[in-house]
Each structure stands twice: as structure tokens, then as C-alpha cells.
Amino acid sequence: MRAALRHPLAWWGVLALGLLPLAWLILQTLRDQLGANPAEALIRSTGDWTLRALCLVLAVTPLRQLLGWPELLRFRRMLGLLVFGYASVHLLCYAWFDMGFDLKDTVQDIVQRPFILVGFSAFVLLLALAATSFNRAVRWLGGRRWQLLHRSVYAVTLLAVLHFWWMRAGKQDFNEVLVYAAILAALLGWRLRRQRRQT
């Protein structure tokens, strides 16, 4: 397995797997297979895949430690950018299908609806993380400041779960929210415990 992870094509293989859900959603859209409300289906699906990608990127370090596979680290940056990519498509679908790309109405909606404000705040943090995910940004910010900035992934996680919970609150449907919350809480708890031990 470690040899497979080290293979030059492994990075592209993981990227292709990460893009498969988006390709499937596009195919379903073209075939008109998204149900009675395609706009809602796209917005919710891209939000779900953002959370799933976030779970994956947070799982890289624990899996690397538990399995002894340092090769997993070469995929972490790409998985983080996939989180940002799915979050961007999620925001795009909302701005397009819900707001018709009306900037004024979109800004008002973000300010007036708390669950959208929470989700947009998570996106702004993801934008900062994506923009500073490259080696040049590390050199520009300095290792310590870069590390502090990228710890805001904890805030992104909390905001994302709150956004999802608030969205489901209207229908009193929290089962899926609790699953994501439990997974992300376990992953964050592992990271915090590890950092405490290092300190």
C-alpha cells in the first residue's frame, strides 16, 4: 500500500476520485435526474461533499500516525483544496439558483439569515487557507504565523457543522448532522490531544 501511495500517478488518482462526485452531479444535471427541485439538490449535495472532504483532510494526520504511512501527507494539500473547491461550488449554486446572482440581495440574505452568515464565514476562512496553502505563502508568512493561520481549520469545522445543523433545524432532522459532528469532533479531539502532548 505504501508503495502504491508513493507512485507518481497516485496523486492524480486521488484527485480524480475527489472530483468524481462533482462529475456525477454535473452528469445528473445534464440528464435532468436531480428530482423535482434540482437547485436544492445541487446546493445540498455540494454542501454534503464539502463536509465529507473536510472529514477526509482532517483524517490525514491521524491515519498517518496510526498506520505509520507518512506518504499520506503528500495528499493533504490537495484534499484541502478539494474542500475549498466544493465549498466554492456550494456557494456558487446558492448565489446562482437561490439569489440569481443579484449581489445586493445576496449580501442582504447573508446578513439577515444566521445560518447563511455562519456558512459564509466558514467559506471566508477556507479562502484564506486555500490562498496560503502554497510553499511561497509559507515563506512569506513565516512558519509560525502560517501554522497559526491554518489552525483556523478548527473554526471552519465548527462553523460548517453549525451551518449544517441550522439548515436542518427547520425540518427537525438532525441524524446526519450528528454523524458529521461526531466524526469531526473525534478528529479535532485527536489533533488537540496531540498538540497538548507536544506542548
Residuewise pLDDT in 10s, the chain (199 residues):
788 888 888 999 999 999 999 999 999 999 989 888 999 999 999 999 999 999 899 898 888 888 888 888 889 899 999 999 999 999 999 999 989 999 999 999 999 999 999 999 999 999 999 999 888 888 888 878 888 888 888 899 899 999 998 888 767 777 888 888 898 888 888 877 877 776 6
d(CA 150, CA 142): 12
Sign of the CA dihedral with 159 first, then 15, 128, and 149 last: positive
Task: HSE, CB side, 13 Å, CA atoms: give it for residue 44.
Answer: 12
Residue written as cell 471552519? 156
Q: Where are the domains of the chain?
A: 2-198
CB 146 within 8 A of CB 137: yes
Q: In this predicted structure, what is the pLDDT of residue 124?
A: 96
Give me 93's grid cell. Answer: 449554486
Q: Where are the alpha helices (DSSP H) in the chain?
A: 2-6, 10-30, 38-67, 76-93, 103-112, 114-131, 135-141, 143-150, 153-169, 175-198
d(CA 68, CA 62): 10
d(CA 119, CA 164): 8
Task: HSE, CB side, 13 Å, CA atoms: give it for residue 111.
Answer: 6
Give me 151's grid cell. Answer: 489552525
Q: 119-142 as b/e, with b when 16 or more CB fall inside 10 Å? A: bbbbbebbeebbebbeeeeeeeee
| C-alpha distances out from residue 57 to 84, 92, 140, 151, Å | 11, 22, 24, 13
